[in-house]
Structure formats: structure tokens, C-alpha cells
Structure 1
Amino acid sequence: MLHGVSKRQILHDKNNLSTRFRDLEREEVFREYLRKIVEKIPLHYQNRRKYALMPSLSDEDARGRYKEALEAAIPGVTVVPEPEMVGEYFRLLKQNLELEAGKNNVILVVDVGASTANMTIILSRRDRTIVDLDATGAQRDLRLRALRGDSAGHAGRWVDLRLAEILGLGGSDAALRAIETAKVKASLGEDAVYVETSSTATVTSLSIDRATLASVSKELWGELRPLFAKLCERLYENQRSSKDARQKSNERLSELGVSSVSDAHRLIDTILLAGGTSLLPGFEEAMLASLFPSGHRPAVLRVGSAFAIAAAAGGLAHILHNYVPPRLRKPNGSGQEVFTTPLDGTLPYSLLLGVKQPPGREYHVTLLDPNDPFVDDGGKRQIEGIPLLAKGMAPKMRVVPGLEAGVLARQGRTFLNMRVKQSPVKMELDWDPGRQRATIHSDQLEATGHLWIDVNSLRKRQEAALDPFDEDIPADGLAVDAAEDIVLDLGMSKIVVVTADRGWISADELERVVREGCPVGSLSDEVEIEQHLEPEGTEGRDVRSAGRGGDGDIVVISDGEVVEAMPIDEIGARETEPAGPSGPEVLVSSLVQRPASTTLPRAQAISQVDWGARVADAEFSHALVSLRDDVAAKEPKLQFNDIVVALLALAVRPVVLLAGPPGCGKSTLVRLIARILGKERGKSFHEVAVQAHWGDDEALFGKSGLLDVLFREGESAHLVMFDEFNLTRPEYYLSRLFHALESGSGAISHDRRIAPCRVFGTLNIDDSSRPPSPKVIDRCFLMELSQVSHTSDDPPELSTFESMPILPGLPAVTLNAASADKTIDSVLDALHMAVHTHELRHDLLPSRRVLSDIKASLSLHSSLDLQGKNLLDRNDLIDRLIASRILVKLAGAFDQVGPALDALEKVVEGVEELPRTRRRLKLARHQARLGFVSPWQ
């Protein structure tokens, strides 16, 4: 993913030479891989906020690809820099990272793992923005900030290949596995370890000892030296980048004899060694001898036996510490003392300038990207990409964090009214890295002085713990309050997932557990866990909790097996054997609350009537991409996202309603989808014009009924469209069809069953039609279409799509890790709170059927990789689900709806990514003047 080619081929079908090879896109495979990892997290923890560690990457393209893949595969994930989290492990958990008062402390993080070597510089800045008093009363700066790091492929894998070369062995998987095993054993002992590898003809025995490892370690550092040199250049430039920086650094530079880039390494006070490869014999000495042949050497802190999980544990500690009040605390008798040293790492999210010109949507201009060196240096520069604004225009603008920050992070950041004094408009960004503040200036706009954002506000979470841990803990322990956060560390040889429940942790205990493990047989207090990981046969396995230092325990799951249980005062996982052909071992560390017994249900497919072929996710999404490209070539103005949402709805629920004003294209969309699914009019696709006088379903299922074809035997699955669905009450003519589809039996009566089918209904929103009842809406998947613009062309002719690709079927629906969303959860929480607090009607809340549809839709969006393939933006789907599946129930007398409307408006205030939701709430607010709210008027 980071260093390989973008496309590879895989043997697809040995029996069909015409499709023998299939092209695999690097990013697509990686996204699917990530989704499979998340699915292995127990369901009880899958709704927690997710963070993924980002290795230092000097290649901005690789960094961008990696980050985009993470965000597409794990909706709502926050990406945090891995080297900085290693620093947090030493600072917050081991508590042995000390700062010297009054100086710009320079810390080098060296993280050499299995696949990559990362180096990052962390500085303590004397900018006087955050100060504290030491024991002598002198002020010292306590703000830490990391410069951009760099990464290289010279790591554990490189060492294995070099050892194979020295031993005269090839680079086969079997040989490298044998070498890796011998390398680990030799690094821990004094004796030589034999490498045994066999072939069909010979058996060769060669040995590796510490001297050999020391020699290779010296070569490894030689390969990493250029990476370090680049980092020193960045460090020196940072110390001399401005007049203020030079004034603060001159004394220190003079004291250490630093006069040029070649001397910059002398500024380093402390080296943090992390990653298993950095612990090889000879590596530390080779590094120090190369950089500091004589004179003062910096202090070296080693991660020790916890190297496998140090970054993930440090990341979790960092997140817990950034709650307000902190959920990670030192003991001082009351257990409430907090750490005072903040780590302000690289910019957590990109910063955007939002520009809105009525009646259009918000246009985003990137102000600052986390990969940009300007983040470290600061200063002023012109903003590129501003849309054309004519003199006299009155656009609205705001500064917001990037889309990856999530909807809630941008909530409440309102637009400011501007007026253009001169065109074209030039604007300037003023970025202060010390204060972490971005401000916009322009002489050609009025009122830009209020366009600014404080990035520090994005780093803290104002959320008090519901159940703080205040019990006695050891002197070296740290109190932990439960938090809804999960950190993922995606390595080549292991994957670690950590989360925290109420209790305490200790760095010493963490290292002991990682080193020695915790035998399951020695534990007590049974906790029942049902596994939902492959292989089968692990259900119902008992895990016993230790109860030491807290209320729960960590369960370590490896390849579907519970391998050990750990007390709550230990966060971590055991380092695994090197990856084999099947890929890295997945270690999931999750805290389980006691004393209640918890059973985690296995994810199951949603119960539904089958409809034709259910195809694999990859097959369906690839066909959808081909279809999109074909449609774009023939009708570039066609809204393909409406097609995608309709197909998702059809996969989730047997009856889909298309609502909208007359002439918006509802019937045309259904006919187009029928063609996409290969349905033929009169044979497998049937249009039914609903009649106002229908009082039962005789016209449909009676003798010579309009849908008599559904009772004929055949293999075809049918698609039915009821045009003007609500011209009469649907309950009159569709009750038996609803039951047949939802029950899964297909039974219209005791002796008659229909063929597999799906139903579309077109629903006009005007005064000539009666609104469907809430019961009907609840049973259908409602999809709303917007009125076409006055500038739109004529509707597309279906003949244009005669030769379009046919989809192979609909995808299967299951609930997996991506079936939750923070924005939807916040809306549901606000609605539930309003209903229960103000004793409103409970039918304002979504039913289980609706909640299941929402989860299924989000799950399909993830499993089909619709975001990664640019087929459907997740925010668009979320907006539609909230507006059409949740808020559509917002109806009735205003005294029963008003409190809910108030709560919902507060949740979505300033959230521009929810235009349909905001429009529906605005409609309800206008209707409030009449005393009655309806979704249809």
C-alpha cells in the first residue's frame, strides 16, 4: 500500500481462460482488508469512536492515499500520527520523559518496526503560551509539538532479507519465516540459533548469533542515516525559520556548538527507541556511535517488551488525557491530579474555508493540510482556489475543520456575511503554529476579521465521565475513566486494537503482561463471551476476569481464538510470530465490564424475502462502476447517486417509495432501474396505475388481475411499479402483498404464492393525494427526489440506455462494523431525550424496522466501498436516511412535536452536510405557525 505498485493481477478462474486474470487495485484491496479487520472487533465495541495510527511518510502522495483509504473503509475514523503516540507512551504511561526547564527540548522518536522505519522530532517550545512553575519558581514551557516525520522501508523485513543474503538463502516466505524466528531468539540470548529450512532435495542448517545481528544492525543504521539527515535539516530550519525563533534558539545553539545543518544532531536531548527492530543487538550503539562519536550523548529511553503495543497504548492515553476533565489521572491521594504537559502534534485535520453563495451549496477551499510544511513553520501566505466573486456580491464564509473531522466537529460554526469590495478577491492566511490559530485577512472583503479558528478546540473533548474511577491504586498506576474510543495500530506482523473501561493501568504491568501473558486458568469471576470471528467453533468460550485494579478485563482475540485474558490495569497485546502467507495476525484487546455477564450476538443477515440473485459485494460494486461510467458517457447530467440510493433501498426493503413533486422523474427512475436490473416490460417488469376507487386488491390478484403474472411458475424475479401509489389508501390494495413480502413466505392466501418480487411506488407530494399512513411509511423505504432545476435539459430517453451494462443482481445485506454513524446517533439521542423528557408521543421515535434499515444501508455503503469508488458520498446517504427514515415521522399537533423540533434543530445547527435534513426541519418550523406539522405539506 505504501511502497508497492498501484495495480496487480491475480489468477481469477482457471477454468475460463478468457477471464483468467483479474486486475486488483491497491487502494481497493487495502480498503477491503481494513473493513475485514474492523469486522473482527466484538460488536459490543464497534460503535465506539475509532482512531487509526498513521506512520510517518515523507511521500505526500503515499500519505494521502493511506489516509483516504482509512477514511473510506472506516467511516468516521480519526487519523493520528504514530510516532507522536510513541512519545505519548513514554510521557503519559511510562512517565520517564523529562523536560529541562527553560530550554527547547528536542526529542527524537525512532520507531523501526516490521515493515517501516519512522523518525520524528518532538520539540518543547518556549513560546510562553502555556507555562508552569517548577520547584524553584522558574517558568518553563510545557508545550510539546511534533515536526513532520519521515519513513523508509528499511526495517525488520529488510533485516530478514539481508540475513537471508548473508546465509545464502533465497527470499521465499518459508526462509524468511525461519530467519525471523531465529533472529528473535538470537536477540534475546547469548547462543547462536540455527535457521532450519528445507526444500525437496536438501536440508540446510545455518546459524544466527548476536554478532551477526550487530553487524546487520550497523548496516541498517547506515541505510537510515539519510532519513535522519533530512530530519536534522528540518530541525535546523525550525530553529532558524524566523527572527523570533532565532532569538529563542541562539543561546542554546551557541552552547551546543551548532552553527550549520551538519551540527543539528547535537540539539537532540532524548532518543525514544520504539519498534521491535530498534531493539536488535548493536542498533542503539551503531546509531549513537555514528551521530555522537565523542562528547555528550543524549539520553535513550527504550520501549522494552511492550514495543508491540506501545504506539496504540500511547494513542489511547493521549485520547483519554484530552478529555475535559481528563480521563487519565495520576494518584495524589484523591486521584484527581492531571498531567499538565500537552502534546500539540501535527494538525489533526485539514482546515477549510467555506464559501456559500445563494442559492448554491457550500464550496470548500483548502487553507491548510496536515502534510503541508507550512503547518510547522507558520506565517502568512495567499489563499489559492478562491471562487470568482463579483464586486458587490454578499457571500457567506466560515472556517471549518476538514470533512474527516466529522459532522459534529463542524457543528455550530456559523457563516459570516461578507461583502466584496474588489474583484477578483485576494485573501491571506495567517497561521500561528504556537497558538494553533488560523486567521483570514483581506482588504477586498468587509468583515474578514472574524474569520478564524482555534485548532486547540479540535483537540479537546468537553465530556465529563459518567462513572469516574476514584478507588485506591498503586503509586505507579494511573486512574482511567471509561471512554467510547478505540485505537487501531495496523502493522505488517500484527494488528492491535485497544480500548478502555473504568479501572487503572500501569506501564510496568503492561510490559509484564505483554512479556509473560496472563494464564486464563489463574483468573476468577466468569464473564461469558460469544465469539463472532473465524474459524467457527469458538462460540460460548468462557473467559475469566482477574478483577485486579478495576472492574473488567482485557480479552485478547487471535484468529478467532481467545488466547488470554488480562486485568483492566493492563492495555495491550502480545507480539506475534512473523506474518505468514495468510497475512498478519489480528490482536483485538477489548475491555469487558463486570460484574454483569455479557453476550455478544453474532452479526446475521437481515431477514428478507430473497429476490433473484444475491451477488458478492465486489462483483456488484465493480458492475456499478461500469454502469456509472456508461451512464456518464450517455447522460452526464443524470443524477447517478439517485440510482445508487434506490438500489440500496431495494436491497434492504422489499417496498421502496419514491416521493417528490410531479415531474421530478420518479417513474423515469424506476423504468431506468428496471432496465439496469435486466427486467423486461410485461414479463418481469410491471407498471400498475393505481386507481382512486380501489377498495381492495381484487384488481391485482383477482381473476385476470393486473398482477396475475406473479403466480405463474418461472425462474424470473419480478419488479413492480405502482404509479401514484397514494391515489387511494395503500392499505386497501397492498395489505396482502406487504405481508407476503415481509413474512418471507410469498403467500397471498393459503393456496397461492407469488414469485420473488420487489416493489416501487411513486408518491406525489401535492394537494391531490392523501398522505400514506405512518404504518405504511414505516414498512417502506422512503426516498425523496428533488424538483428539477429550471435550467435542466429534457428528461433522458430510455432508448439512450438500450445497450447499458446489466447488474448481475442485488447485494446481500448483513450488519457489520460500519452499520453505525455518529451523526445519526446524535440525532436519535436528541430525539429520544426530547420524547422522554417532555413525555411526547412515542411514535415520533423510529421503529426497529427503521433502525434496521438504517444500519443495513450504512453497512452496504461500507461493504460495497461506495465512498472509495466515488459512487455515493456517505454524508449524502446519511442526510437522506435522517430526512426520509427518521424525520418523516415528525408530524402532529405542534405541542407534541415542538420540543423534538427544538432538540433536532440544535443538533444540526450549522451542519451544511445535511441539506435535506435542515430543509425538512425548516419546513416543520414554518408549519408550526399553523399549529400542526406534516411531512407532506
Structure 2
Amino acid sequence: MSEHAFQFLLQHERQPFLPSRCYITADPNVYDPRQWSLQLDAPVGAPWVYQLDDVKDWMLHGPKAERRIFFDISNYRTPSRVLERDEVFRAYLRKILERLPAEYMQRRKYALMPSIGDDKTRARYMEAIEAAIPGITILPEPEMVVEFFRLVKRTLKLETRANNVLLVVDIGASTANMSIVLSRRDGTVLDVDAKGAQRDLRVRALRGDSGPYAGRWVDERLYELLGVAEFLPQEDKGHALRAIEQAKVEASRTGSAVQVELPSNGDPLVVDRDKLVAVSAGLCTELKSTFQKLCERLYVNQTSTDDARKKSEDRFRERAVGDAKDAHRLIDTILLAGGTSLLPGFQDAMMETLFPDGHRPNVLRVGSSFAVAAAAGGLAHVLHNYDPPRLREPDGKGGSVFKAPLESTLPYPLLLGIKQAGERERQVEVLDPNEPFIDDGGQRPIPDTPPLAAGSQPRMRLIPGGAAGVAARQGRPFRAMSVRHSPGKMAIEWDPLRQKAFVHSSQVDGTGTLWIDANTLRTRQESALDPFDGPLRPGALAVDAAEDVILDLGMSKIVALTADRGWTSAEELERVVHEGLHAPLAADNQDGANTAASHDEAAVADDTAMDVGVAAATPSERFTSEASGNQPSAGDGPQRGAEAEAGVASRAAPAERAASPGNERAAAIEPVAQQSDAEEIDVGTAAAFDWDVRVPDSQFSYALETLRDQIKAVDPHLQFDDIVVALLALAIRPIVLLAGPPGCGKSTLVRTIAQILGKKVGHTFHEIAVQAHWENDGVLFDQGGRLSHLVGENPHSHLILFDEFNLTRPEYYLSRLFNALDGGNGAIAPDAKIASCRIFGTMNIDDSSRPPSPKVIDRCFLVELAQVEWQVDKPTGIGSLASIPPLPGLPMVSVDGANTDERINAVLHALQLTVIEHDLRHDILPSRRVLADIKSLLGLQHRLDLQGKDLLKRDDLVDRILASRVLVKLSGAFDQLQPALDALDKALDGAEELPRTRRRLKLARQQARLGFISPWQ
């Protein structure tokens, strides 16, 4: 039989998932509180390590957004680190993404969204995921649990022509989610088979979040039952809870008593069935209030409209439901999903506590595959929503398909795009798939819309969010509106049964054209290229390969699942979880052999203690973790205010810290940060900057954040995203071109960057005005030439500006420099090398200059600037920026991480097909050099967390890449390029978030009447 189709991309010790813990490492010789790194494996030999077992729990439920960790609380000068919750979570997700095997990295990615009751927490969680994993689609986790039972286990049978009310109980390590899932109640008959009528089934979830009462709550109760606190120091509680958790899992799995591996003051510490049953009863009691509120919401949902009440009458009468307190009788089936809900005695206690009147729904247990059930359900859901489906029931040949699709809630957010005259499109989110309004529907005002002046005629469109992809936005053009009254308020109407959204307004005419049918967003119209047609054993399902990866970001484990051609079954998934995988992936480097360094000098303050003290532990009292040398759980130890104050005070004494032994790196950084406005940048600092020395990602991105805040304080009109893109370009390619209209600030930008990089005018920063009569590079490199002093031994790193780069042909005067910097190992002549340097060129395209050749553009990194806005009060001048400290260096460049984008892929695919089908010139395709630059740039934006830190948006970066690195090559006779332009128009239809790209295409269309296309005006 062929191989199991469901492939687990993250593995650990043959298990089909990755433990969710991570480790923060830092250099105690560096005192910058933001300089830390995150890794998934336990570090070996690191001097300072802090283990995080609960990063997602902290993200969702932590009362404070920051933690401060300390290296040594016995020394008041001890270094500390500030860990910001969202930033740590994004770094964690990026590391998870980098673990995916390379051959699967380009697949579409989905993340499961847990049931989160708080709107702000839900929005923050989604924003962090979308920033860390660009282009990801969010799937609601409760519905995907339903899909596991319906599509994979096939034990869930939904009653036809009636409401189906399902209670999903998913209690994991740190979250307890209870969700009521409803199937569509209109009874529409789609098809008839041997068993009778089948309905068009749709699930919608009413959410209930009870985060405190989860697996860790159970561990705490067992900690109390075992009396561990009576003899174990408080600072060792974290280790004790982990040992108790291991014993709990083993006792639940085997049904036998399991001894906890902890020292005791007498009898052995044992977790047995009786203790687990007792704790299960307590857990159900704690969940009762959440369940009652959920049932109240269910009752309101079923009676909120006349139509809803009418369709619910028969079931209400049958189940004797008179008011909200009886709503629990409407529940038909309970799906037990999380590992904690499988504790001995939990099911019986749940029935007695939540259903005391004798109503007993059917209970389906996920079984031993609970660790991967939600991910498997999500993958099955995605596979089944292809047209034709790629998950098929057995018929001996693997040919038959499932009948009625079970559709989840709205798959993507809905956005209202508003474009006013002379402005870019502004997008306002009108529907979030994970908010309760999606369940109930109705009409409500659209918040955060820009004010619209009476008499104005803005254009608007209603579109799915960016994760839906380019194809989902095609064919959704802007519609002309007319504002009757200011401020132009609008409302969104959502019909959850028909899954349609409409925009209404009494102040804006024309909104009747703004509507969207979300049903069209659910299926992907793609036939399988290589469908599975092999034999299937009983219970197995045929699977066709698909370009999708499902990520289940659990509290204790991370599952990444994809589908290759083959077969799957619930039994095989249970076997994999129970017995482990037969062979690990080649990319799996988690062999379990790594152990963390000793934490004897480390102490940590948790979010519960960081404002008033530091959790400390005596080294001799600490346990050593079997796997990782864990620190005690943060916040478990006594609070010591004096030590905490000393740790904070150490940040306020840079001079003392810089002079301390072993703190050379801090000494190099602190004096620059303390410069006064009147001081000039020291030549020694500038000379120390080496283009080939790259700094860690965290150091560079934090330096950018600091730089942005400082620059905005003195020049709020400066476009900082231009600075970021130019710096990234310098990190990737040694020659960067700045193009734009005269007076837009190209030269000013270069001078600003020179200051940012610590370059001193006339010493390490050189401005050269290009002259039209230059025909060779003698003026630069001959004896007495303007750059002759850079040839030969020169210890400094230099930045050179060629102003009006294209006033003459760059090939005339830069040919040798091009070769020296781009693969020539710095050799300007056979016996001479040029100093380490980087080049900026500014260029205008006007009557006095000529466009650079495609060869030059290909070898440079082009950055296009827009004209300064008319209302800027101080358009030029950077004298006030003299006090800005220099950056420590440029970031390392690689193609790891999220280095693709669906919009870029769509454009490249369209160009490739058009060139082949119409036999066009191949030079309009991007070169290997350009493709590598694109991947490097996307990878940098991802690794440096530029989206999460609001330094550079993904949309802006993609727009710049397409306009300046891809479409800039469109040049030549219009009749030769028209097929390519047509293909690009189609590929970018609806992509209004890419104004530079669309403007370049519009320019090409305008030039059509001239018969010749040029990328320049």
C-alpha cells in the first residue's frame, strides 16, 4: 500500500509534533535590555538562558505585556532583558516557520484560531500571526475539530432537516475552549442518496473561553493534593509542575498509578485514577459558569428573529425548552477534543455537572489522536473544499466524493476599500470571521471610516482580506459613490444564512452596488494534477496532493500538516500519535540530545512579579531538568524588591557598565547613545563600521525602532520606510539606485543614511557629481582622481554617492567598480583593490539625462521615491539629525523564512507563461540575480519583524519589488509587449494595495499610443 498522505512537517523524537517551548538567550556582556535571541532547541553552552514553556498562554492570558529577566540578582549591576509579549510570540512563530522543510515552505499556510472571547486579545493574536507568517489564512479551530469527526473519523452523523447543535470541548494545556457549533438550519436539500436527503450543512460557532481552567489548572490541583508545597521550595514549583504533568499524562494513558519523579519527605508521590477523577470533578465545576453563558447565547441565537423562532419551534417543543436555562437540552452531540478532557472521570463529571436534569447528548471522544485532531480536521476541510475535492471516500477505486459540504464560518475578513480624489485607497475592516457578530448577523455601523465631504465622489469596493489571495479580489472593481451628507456614515449588513454582506448608507448614494457573496470564497477551483487512484483498505480515504500546510499552534505542542498523494485514515493517525513516526524528516534536527546550559546565575521575574521584585532561587536548591536544565517557573519564587531595583538601576549607569570588565561590546555602543546634539560623529566609530560585518537580527531591528523614533522626533515628515528599504537594499546589493522626480529628496536621503551609518563627509562619505562628458573612470581612479585614495590599503569602510548617476552612461565610468563590488572581490585592477565600499546613485529621468540600460538596472538595486507632499512645512534639510547614533551594522542576508508572496508569484507566473506562449523576448523576465534579491528582501522583512514592529509593511515591500525589480524591465515596442501587459493586468486585477505597481502598468498603457513602452516617464 502507498505511503500515508498526511505528512507531519514538525517532528520531535519520532512524535508528529514539536514541543511548544522555546528558549531566550542573551549575552550578559551586553547591557542593552532589548538584545536577545529566541530558539526552539535547548542551547548548549549559552551563559544566559530563560526557558519559556507558555509563550502562547502568555500571549492570550498574560495580565501584563512584558517580562523582565535578570542574569544575576546578587549583583546590582546585573544585566536584564525586557521581553515584550507580542514581539516574543512573533519571533517564536518565525522560528516555527523556519523549521518547515524547504520543499514545503512555498505551500499555502493556514493557522487554527482558538476560541477567544475577548475582542482585543483575539485581534492582537491574529495580527501577530499575520505579521509573523505573511499571507496566512486563519481557520476557526472548533469547526476544524468538527471536521475531524465528520470527514476523518466519520463518526459524526448530522440529522437531516433539523438543527444540529454540537458542543466542542477542547481543553488543552493552557486553554479551555467550549464552543457550540450550529449547522445551517434552513434544511436545503442538495442531493439524495441511499440514506435519504442530505442538507447543505454549514457550521457556525458560538464561543466560550475559560482559559484559567485547563491542563495547568489540573496540575496545580494535583500539586495541592500531593502536598508538594509543604516540603518543596517555592522557587522549584515550575519544575515540580512539569513532573506532575508528565505523571498525569502517563496515568491517564495507562490507567495505572504513576510515581512523580520528585524528592519527598516520606511516602512516594503518586498520581492515580482516584486523584484524577477528583480533579476532573473540580474542573467541570469550574467550567459550569462558562457553559451556562454559552447556553444563554445559544438560546438568543435560536430566538433572535421571528424566522429563527419559527424554525426552532419543533425542536424546542420536542426538547421541552422554555427559556435560556433549558437551552442545554438543544445540544445533540458533544465532541471531546483536548487531551485534558480525556482525563479519567471527566466525561461522567461533565454529564453530572452540566446536564443535571438527565438530558444526555451523544458523546464522541477524539481518542489517542487528540494531539493532531484539529490539524487533521483543518487539512481535511481544506482538501474537501477544492473543486473537485481532493479528499475522497473509498469505493474500491478511490473515486467517490463526499456529498454535502460542511462549510465553516466566513473564511476571510471583509474589507471596505475607500479611495478619495488624490489619495491612496484606505481599507477598513468591516467583518472579522472570529467575532460573535458573524454568528448572529444583522446590521451595524462601520467604524473607523474616513470622513467624507458632502458633494465628494469617492470610489469604493468590498473585498476579502489579503490572505484570500489575488484571485479572490479579481473582478471586484471600485464603484463610484456620491456623498450626500458629511461625514458619510455607512453600515454593514451580514446575513449568516446566505453568507452575504451588504453596505448601506443614508448619507452616501451608490452603496447598493457594494455587496459580496462569501460562498464564492470557500472553494478553490483547481483540479489535481496527479490524483490518487490506488487501492484503499477499509476505512481509508483517498488523498490528492495539495499545496497547503495547516499549523496548529497549541500550548504544549505545534503541529504542521500537509497532504501528499496517497491515503489517510483515523486509525493511521491514532497509530502515529501512539507509536510515533516510522522515520523522521531529513530536516528534523530535534534529537532530544541537547541540554540547556546551567542556569545557576539566572533569575527571572514573571508578569506577576516584574514590577515589584525578582523571582530568585538559590543554585543549590534548584533541580536540574532531565531534558533542558529548566529555570524555575517565572513568578514562582519570593519577591525581592531590593534586587529588582538594583537590576533596573543598572540600566541608568552606562558609564559604569561600559567600563566594567568583559563588557567591550557595551562600551562600544553606550557612548554613541549618550552623544549630545552638538557633538559630531567620531571618525573612529565610522571607521569601525565594516560592510562585511553583519549584526544579529534583534540588534538591527531594535536599532531601527530606536532610529525611527529619534528621526520622527526631529523630522516627522521624513519617509522612514524609504530609509528602511534603502538599508535593506544595501545589505543585499553593493550598488543602490534612487530614482524619482527632481526635488523629491534622493540626495538628502543618501546623506541621512550616511549619518545613520556613522559616515563622515570627506573621510568615509564621498559625494561625486557625475558630469555628462565623462567617457571613462580616469576622473575617479587615475592619480589625483576623486576616489584614488580608496585604491590600495585602506582600513575604513566607505559610502559613495554618485549624484545624477545617469547624466552620462554608467558603463563609461563605473564598469571596473561594478566588477570589483559585484563578484570581483574588490579588485579594481590586477594588482590593486578598492577599499570596502557601497554605492548610492541618484537619477532623474528628464531631457538632460538618459535612462540607464537594462544591464545596469539588473546589477543594481532600484529604489523609487515619490515626490514630497505639498503640505510638508519643511521639505528638506537634515541639520537637526546630527545627534542620531549610528547603526551597529547591517543585517545578515539569507533566503530563510517567508521569502515568497502570492502576488509576486502570480506576476512571475503570468510573465513566464506569456513569454513562452507568445514567444516574447526573454529579457523581460527577471534574471537569477533579481530573483535572488527578491527572496532575500522578503526574507529580511520577515526575519527582522518589520511588519510587526510597524517599520515596513508587507504590502509596501511587495509593491516596491514588483514596480522596481520586475516591471521595470518592460521596455520595447508595444505590439511585442501587449500580451505581457494583458497578462499582468489580469494577474493584478483588484490589487489596489499595490499603487506603485499599478501606476507602472498604467504608464505602459498610456505609452501605447506612442508605440513604444519605457519604464520611465
Task: Output the TM-score relative to the length of structure 2.
Answer: 0.82
Deviation at 1:463, TM superposition (A): 1.6
Partners in 1 of 2:1009 and 2:468 — Cα distance? Answer: 37
CA shift in 2, pair 1:425/1:188, >3 Å: closer
CA shift in 2, pair 1:627/1:17, >3 Å: farther
1:94 to 150, 153, 159: 153
Q: How does 1:689-768 map to 2 (within 5 A)?
A: 689-711=769-791, 713-743=793-823, 745-768=825-848
The one-letter amino acid of 1:2's match is L
- 2:258 maps to 193
Partners in 1 of 2:195 and 2:219 — Cα distance? Answer: 51
2:740 to 656, 660, 684: 660
Verify the 8 A CA contact 2:418 2:459 in the aligned structure 1. Answer: yes
- 1:455 maps to 518
Q: Deviations over 1:176-215 (max 9, x none)?
A: 232122212222334322112149xx78721111111111
- 1:356 maps to 419
Verify the 8 A CA contact 1:173 1:580 in the aligned structure 2. Answer: no
Verify the 8 A CA contact 1:134 1:140 in the aligned structure 2. Answer: no
1:278 correspondence with 2:341:
yes
- 2:60 maps to 2
Deviation at 1:158, TM superposition (A): 1.6
Partners in 1 of 2:72 and 2:809 — Cα distance? Answer: 52
Name the SS for the 1:107 alignment partner: strand
Partners in 1 of 2:593 and 2:153 — Cα distance? Answer: 39
**C-alpha RMSD of matched pairs (Å):** 2.5
1:181 correspondence with 2:220:
no
Partners in 2 of 1:12 and 1:682 — Cα distance? Answer: 43
Verify the 8 A CA contact 1:679 1:718 in the aligned structure 2. Answer: yes
Q: Deviations over 1:88-116 (max 9, x none)?
A: 10011011101112221111000111121
- 1:602 maps to none
Deviation at 1:421, TM superposition (A): 3.3
Deviation at 1:449, TM superposition (A): 2.1
Deviation at 1:717, TM superposition (A): 1.2
1:387 to 436, 450, 453: 450
Name the SS for the 2:262 alignment partner: strand
Partners in 2 of 1:910 and 1:706 — Cα distance? Answer: 50
Verify the 8 A CA contact 1:117 1:155 in the aligned structure 2. Answer: yes
Which deviates further from its counterpart, 850-859 or 696-705? 696-705
- 1:313 maps to 376
Q: Deviations over 1:135-170 (max 9, x none)?
A: 575675533322234241321222112111211224
Partners in 1 of 2:838 and 2:249 — Cα distance? Answer: 59
Partners in 2 of 1:336 and 1:793 — Cα distance? Answer: 69
Deviation at 1:63, TM superposition (A): 1.3
The one-letter amino acid of 2:171's match is V
- 2:567 maps to 504
1:163 correspondence with 2:222:
yes
Verify the 8 A CA contact 2:758 2:885 in the aligned structure 1. Answer: no
Structure 2: 5+ residue stretches without partners: 1-58, 230-235, 595-625, 634-688
1:172 correspondence with 2:237:
yes
Partners in 1 of 2:373 and 2:627 — Cα distance? Answer: 18
Q: Deviations over 1:337-381 (max 9, x none)?
A: 322333333332222222212221112233222343221111223
Verify the 8 A CA contact 1:889 1:935 in the aligned structure 2. Answer: yes
Greater relative contact order (Cα < 8 A, sep 6+): 2
- 1:854 maps to 934
Percent identity (aligned): 63
1:249 correspondence with 2:330:
no
The one-letter amino acid of 2:395's match is N
- 2:205 maps to 146
Verify the 8 A CA contact 1:50 1:486 in the aligned structure 2. Answer: yes
- 1:590 maps to none
Verify the 8 A CA contact 2:110 2:136 in the aligned structure 1. Answer: yes
1:627 to 682, 707, 721: 707
Name the SS for the 1:771 alignment partner: coil
Q: How does 1:56-71 map to 2 (within 5 A)?
A: 56-71=115-130
Partners in 2 of 1:424 and 1:173 — Cα distance? Answer: 56
Name the SS for the 2:286 alignment partner: helix
- 1:541 maps to none
Which deviates further from its counterpart, 11-20 or 259-268? 11-20
Q: How does 1:471-870 map to 2 (within 5 A)?
A: 471-520=534-583, 530-531=586-587, 533=589, 581=630, 611=691, 613-711=693-791, 713-743=793-823, 745-870=825-950
Verify the 8 A CA contact 1:131 1:142 in the aligned structure 2. Answer: no
1:886 correspondence with 2:944:
no
1:22 to 66, 75, 81: 81
1:103 to 159, 162, 176: 162
Q: How does 1:872-883 map to 2 (within 5 A)?
A: 872-883=952-963
Partners in 2 of 1:849 and 1:685 — Cα distance? Answer: 27
The one-letter amino acid of 1:879's match is D
Which deviates further from its counterpart, 758-767 or 149-158? 149-158
Partners in 2 of 1:886 and 1:390 — Cα distance? Answer: 38
- 2:285 maps to 222
CA shift in 2, pair 1:916/1:56, >3 Å: same
Partners in 2 of 1:664 and 1:535 — Cα distance? Answer: 55
Verify the 8 A CA contact 2:910 2:983 in the aligned structure 1. Answer: yes
Partners in 1 of 2:974 and 2:199 — Cα distance? Answer: 59
Which deviates further from its counterpart, 664-673 or 427-436? 427-436
The one-letter amino acid of 1:507's match is A
Name the SS for the 1:721 alignment partner: strand
1:435 correspondence with 2:495:
no
Verify the 8 A CA contact 2:742 2:844 in the aligned structure 1. Answer: yes
CA shift in 2, pair 1:496/1:141, >3 Å: closer
The one-letter amino acid of 1:179's match is I
Verify the 8 A CA contact 1:198 1:204 in the aligned structure 2. Answer: no
CA shift in 2, pair 1:65/1:578, >3 Å: farther
CA shift in 2, pair 1:490/1:748, >3 Å: same
Deviation at 1:714, TM superposition (A): 4.7
Deviation at 1:896, TM superposition (A): 2.3
Structure 1: 5+ residue stretches without partners: 521-527, 539-576, 585-608
Q: Deviations over 1:657-699 (max 9, x none)?
A: 0011211111010001001111000111001111222222111
Partners in 1 of 2:935 and 2:261 — Cα distance? Answer: 51
The one-letter amino acid of 2:260's match is V
CA shift in 2, pair 1:138/1:239, >3 Å: same
Structure 1 or 2: larger strand share?
1
The one-letter amino acid of 1:192's match is A
Q: Deviations over 1:708-747 (max 9, x none)?
A: 2323645421100011111111112112111111226211
Partners in 1 of 2:120 and 2:84 — Cα distance? Answer: 16
Name the SS for the 2:542 alignment partner: strand
Partners in 2 of 1:919 and 1:461 — Cα distance? Answer: 30
1:366 correspondence with 2:429:
yes
Deviation at 1:446, TM superposition (A): 3.3
- 1:913 maps to 993
1:378 correspondence with 2:441:
yes
Partners in 2 of 1:924 and 1:533 — Cα distance? Answer: 50
CA shift in 2, pair 1:909/1:10, >3 Å: same
Verify the 8 A CA contact 1:197 1:203 in the aligned structure 2. Answer: no
Which deviates further from its counterpart, 713-722 or 165-174? 165-174
- 2:183 maps to 124
Deviation at 1:625, TM superposition (A): 0.8
Verify the 8 A CA contact 2:199 2:404 in the aligned structure 1. Answer: no
Partners in 2 of 1:694 and 1:583 — Cα distance? Answer: 69
- 1:548 maps to none
Deviation at 1:519, TM superposition (A): 4.0
The one-letter amino acid of 1:57's match is I
- 1:85 maps to 144
- 1:33 maps to 92
